[in-house]
Amino acid sequence: MVDSREPGPCPARLRGRVALVTGAGRGIGAAVARRLAAEGAAVVVSDIDGGAASRVEAEVQQTGGTARAVSMDVTVAADRERAIATAKELGGLHIVVNCAAIFVPQLPHDVDLEGWRRVFAVNVEGLFFCCQAALATMRDQHYGRIVNFSSTGARVGTPAMISYNASKSAVLAITRGLATQYGPDGITANSVLPGIIDTAMWDTINAEVGPMVGFAPGEMMRDRTRRIPLGRAGVPDDVASVVAFLASDDARYVTGQALNVCGGLLML
């Protein structure tokens, strides 16, 4: 029996394209970087942890792909400019995937301004200004693919992640605004909304958020997974394959959309 979690052979849909992926040092971001490279893109692997980015760069190169690691804090303009300059050295900037994100577990009555601002600085401001910085090149090319990471948390209530969920709702609004403004320039902008994905982030949610909302440590993910029609948590490659589609010309008539990648946990 074929394991449906195993990705099939990758087509070369992205040959000749250059992609910038933020938050690409681990988890879903790393899977996205590897998948785009497998489909032929030259990938700028950016992460605030430069060592993690370099490890993903090495993985891509070992499989015959092209990658360049960049240490990048998405909240710092100079870092954003350096990442885009690196992309241009590889031949342009055709695809931007904004994966970088953080969360601060706090119940609504415990949210403080420092935590709120830190989440929004990365998840909203960093994401938006990465898009803005890329748009000049994309408009000159009359071609671009922007894929922004929201979350199913933008559509459900998780009290202990209220700042994160609010930031991911803002991502949806940003993406729609970009799609509307820059469609005539040949640029598409879409959002992906991962659900329960087996990553280090969900390990932290299990350990810290679960007990805050009444679960024993480790039980929150099991509870959520039991509700998924496909019967399992997702893996990073499940999300990466959707991103690769949106980054390709197969999605040339898809823009302003928000795609849940959650095994049917949400159906809207």
- Residues carrying an active site annotation: 164
Residues 187, 138 contacting (CB under 8 angstroms): yes
Q: What number of other Cβ atoms are within 10 A of residue 55's Cβ?
A: 17
CA distance 124 to 240: 21
> Where are the extended beta strands (E) located within 93-177?
95-98, 144-149
Owner of token pair 């994309």? 138
DSSP for 51-66, written as a single string: HHHHHHHHHHHHTT-E
CA distance 202 to 103: 11
Q: Among 104, 120, 96, which Cα is nearest to 187's?
A: 96
CA distance 245 to 261: 13
CA distance 111 to 128: 23
